[in-house]
Amino acid sequence: MKNTLKIIKIGGNIIDDGEALSAFLKDFATIKSPKILVHGGGKLATGLARELQVEVNMVDGRRVTDQETLDIIIMVYAGKINKNIVAQLQANWCDCVGFTGADGNTIVSTRRPVQEVDYGFVGNVKQVHTKTLELLLANNVTPIFCAVTHDGNGQLLNTNADTIAAELAIAFTSFYAVELYYCSEKNGVLKNVDDDDSVIEHINTQSYKNLLETGVITNGMLPKLDNCLHALNKNVQTVCIGKTSMLFNKKSKHTTVVI
């Protein structure tokens, strides 16, 4: 039987809240199985862009990334957020190393082709190389990923953190029984977006189609669920969406996605 690897993605609701982040990292450090943390960027990048008078340009919730915006993303995601997480985890006796996809050549992307929108320096994940990550995991060192990858030719690329988590999960299925957790500010996928108790506890391919048709799943959740189903189709064992409490309390309500 394969060992379990937990891949946990956290987003802005935790990253932007210093106390919530510290509390989460303290809990995260207690997870005994091999684990990888993937974090998004939160509001800090937008804040720095404003301070530097760099225009923030979003299309369908995705950031258009020109050179100046890319620099900000690298500084905030790979610098400020990633290294503060690493330092806090070390203080909690969780040995870890911060990663972009360039480090260890772990995640190679191609710049997203220009169709209706030119997203600029945004990457679509092409390949994941697990060698260096395996080496660290086998030695009890936890990789901490920010949402930056590279193209293999020297160019860093802004990359969706949900996708990074899914692609890492898929790449490790040969070695581990992989569990993928998307932590959000909600208890999971909700029947009624205003009612945090209306969690849909199980979603499968068929019910997903129904939820799409009936408009329960809205634009914000759509790419995340696509990532979930993609991961499950590629042998990831479990995908869960919910608050971070789902990781530490079995009774905590959340959505489990199955195929």
Query: Which residues here bind its own copies, judged by CB under 8 A?
Result: 51-52, 71, 74-80, 82-84, 86-88, 90-91, 95-100, 102-105, 131-132, 135-136, 139, 141, 148, 150, 152-156
**Nearest of 193, 181, 190, 158 to residue 241 by alpha carbon:** 181
Residues with Cβ within 8 Å of 47's Cβ and at least 6 positions away in sequence, in order, are: none
Taking the C-alpha atoms of residue 33 and residue 188, their distance in angstroms, rounded to an integer, is 23
- Closer CB to its own copies, residue 137 or residue 165? 137
Cβ atoms of residues 189 and 221 within 8 Å = yes
Instruction: Read off the amino acid at residue 19.
Output: E
The DSSP H or E segment spanning 46 is: helix 44-51
- Closer CB to its own copies, residue 155 or residue 237? 155
- Closer CB to its own copies, residue 20 or residue 97? 97
CB of 177 to its own copies, least distance (A): 24
CB of 254 to its own copies, least distance (A): 29
Beta partners for 98?
144
Q: What are the tokens at 128? A: 């994941």
- Closer CB to its own copies, residue 106 or residue 163? 106
- Closer CB to its own copies, residue 136 or residue 200? 136
Q: How far is CA 36 from the centre of its chain?
A: 10
